[in-house]
Amino acid sequence: MNMLTEAGVEQQLADQGNTPAIKMRGKGVTVHYGDKQALFGVDLDVPEKQVTALIGPSGCGKSTFLRCLNRMNDTIPICRVGGDITLDGEDIYDPKIDVVELRARVGMVFQKPNPFPKSIYENIAYGPRIHGLTKNKAELDAVVESSLRKAALWDEVKDRLQEPGTGLSGGQQQRLCIARAIAVSPEVILMDEPCSALDPIATAKVEELIDELRQNYTIVIVTHSMQQAARVSQRTAMFHLGYLVEEGATDKMFTNPDDKRTQDYITGRFG
Amino acid sequence: MGEHIVTSFGEELEGVDRLIREMGDLAGTMVADATRALLSSDNPLAQRVVSDDAIMDAKQRELDDRAITLIARRQPMAQDLRAVIGAIRMAGDLERIGDLAKNIAKRVGAVGQTTTPKSLSQSIESMAEMVHAQASGIVDRYVARDAAALKSLRAGDEKIDIKYTAIFRELLTYMMEDPRNITACTHLLFCAKNLERIGDHATNIAENAYYVMTGEQLPINRPKLDETAVSSAASEA
């Protein structure tokens, strides 16, 4: 038994030694929509090449926080963001930052699949083309294929690349949107309830995909499904009424959370 | 702890908890009855322990069914998940306690023919009391959700182990004194060993219950004092 314990301790020490780098860091993040404050000084680190899940009841600020990470909130005129958010140590709200370039580095997948009303091929090719990532048709073809392969969609669509993306099933459309996000070689992928409009099989495929993408990308996912957060993420952050309540290793959060509000929320009790 | 938003979820968890309580009560009764039957050569009482074991098995199956259905239907999290998994494991230990009590009861007939020396039956009686107090105390503390008390109760198993070692030596003495005692004493030795095993299962239950309540595991190394393995090995050598 002692041997086991020692091995366990060694494993823990090794794990501590392998603490991943921090890809994105939020420090005292506040958000106001007009007079209404939606986020109150959130401090949250997003570790590199891991999946971080944001959970909490509706209106808790998790999507608002997610949208701060690629300045998606800039598109809402009454929205004001305070505090610091950095990507690789660089302030993303610095006036010198090119927002279009930022959103290429920090891609996003939305709740409802929203393919462009164009062909499957064009859905993927659009980003690399406007960002000037490819020099010729052959290179573009290669990006389209590799993106669709990474999104586990290639085999299903390779014979009908010129058909409209909107003609795919819901689950395929969502994977097309993930492929579209991947096509511009992002470093971080933000996902806002990516499976809420999908059936269990399509959900399983997207979750499998998230697990594979973790090898190369940093992922932040907002989800209302506790089981999904428990399945796909390594870190979980719990939001409530605009505050970050608790953040930690997913395994601990779903077996033995520290905060009563987290316990009440994940076990389905009155808060 | 607040109530579940889905009332039936809370009721299902309570149902599982209630079964653990019932199994705990039954286990306590079986241990007490089996020992009483053994010491007073009461065959009908021994028979009742044997038939109680069938009830115990049925309750364990019911608990398993309910727990599995609850997991499938509710996907419990955090303390709810610990409670369901903990209940499955505790039910396994309680079922084993039932088996061991039944095993004691089955020996009543075999031991009954010879008269047990007074001091020996006193020893077994006091060991049985310790085991009974340990087992029912642990289930009571679980029902009352008293984690701190469980931690100290768990240490009580050490005393049972010491008692078992003493009885083991006592039985050896009787057997050496008069070989005609060997059959009865061997049965009694198994009974004492069964009581000692019941104590171990009670310890498991305490550890599980503590984890269910706190989410933390008690340290693995609890002092272990069953010296019979060591002393018998030494005497063989």
Dihedral over alpha carbons A176, A177, A180, A186 (to 10 degrees): -130
Which range (A96-100, B109-113, B124-128) has the least confidence? B109-113
Using the Cβ of B72 and the Cβ atoms of chain A, whether some distance falls under 8 Å is answered with: no
Pick from B5, B77, B216: which is nearest to A254 by CB? B77
Mean predicted confidence (pLDDT) in B78-99? 96
Task: Give domain status of residue A79, yes or no.
Answer: yes
ipTM reported for the complex, 2 dp: 0.73
Higher pLDDT, A161 or B40: A161
On whether any CB of chain B is under 8 Å from the CB of A24, the answer is no
Q: Is the pLDDT of residue B178 over 70?
A: yes
**pLDDT of the residue at B234:** 44
List CB contacts (< 8 A) between A263 and chain B. 78-79
Residues of chain A in contact with residue B9, where contact means CB-CB under 8 angstroms, are 268
In angstroms, the separation between the Cα of residue B22 and the nearest Cα of chain A is 26
Work out the minimum CA distance from A6 to partner chain B, whole angstroms: 12
Q: Given the DSSP bridges, would you call strands A79-87 and A22-33 parallel, antiparallel or unpaired?
A: antiparallel
DSSP A33: E
- On whether residue A256 sits in a domain, the answer given is yes
- Domain membership flag for residue A40: yes
H or E segment and range at residue A52: strand A51-55
Q: What band does A4 get if pLDDT is binned at 50, 70 and 90?
A: very low
Chain A to chain B Cβ contacts (< 8 Å):
47
Q: Which pLDDT belongs to residue B25?
A: 93
- Chain A CB contacts of B75 under 8 Å are 226-227
The pTM of this model reads 0.80
User: Which residues, listed in sequence order, are joined to residue A87 by a DSSP beta bridge?
Assistant: A24, A90
CB pair distance less than 8 Å for B78 and A230: no
Reference B219, options B158, B155, B162; nearest CA is B155
Flag whether residue B221 sits within 8 Å of chain A, measured between CB atoms. yes
CB contact under 8 A, B82 and A254: no
Maximum C-alpha span of chain B = 68
Which residues are CB-neighbours of A168 under 8 A, at least 6 positions away?
Answer: A115, A120, A157, A176
CB contact under 8 A, B78 and A271: no
Residues of A in contact with B1 (CB under 8 A): 269
A29 residue type, one letter: V
Q: Which domain holds residue A225?
A: 23-266
Residue B79 and residue A227: Cβ atoms within 8 Å? no
- Residue A259 CA, chain-centre distance (Å), reads 24
CATH of the domain at A179: 3.40.50.300
Nearest CA in chain A to B83: A255
Distance CA B17, CA A134 (A): 63
How far is Cα A121 from Cα A140, in angstroms, rounded to an integer?
Answer: 10
**pLDDT-derived band at B236, boundaries 50, 70, 90:** very low
Question: Total structural domains in chain A?
Answer: 1
Q: Provide the residue type at A119 as one letter.
A: S
Residue with tokens 């586990």: A152
Residue A223 covered by a domain: yes
Q: Could you say which DSSP state residue A269 is in?
A: B
Q: How far apart, in whole angstroms, are the C-alpha atoms of residue A13 and residue A16?
A: 5
The verdict on residue A188 lying in a domain is: yes
Read off the tokens for A106: 């920090």
Say if A15 falls within a structural domain: no
Record: contact A1-B77, CB cut-off 8 A: no
Q: Residue B78 and residue A1: Cβ atoms within 8 Å?
A: no
B149 class by beta-carbon count within 10 Å (0-12 exposed, 13-18 middle, 19+ buried): middle
Q: Is A212 helix (H, G, I), strand (E, B) or coil?
A: helix
Assigned CATH for B7-229? 1.20.58.220
C-beta of residue A115 within 8 angstroms of C-beta of residue A107: no
- Asked if residue A1 is part of any domain, the answer here is no
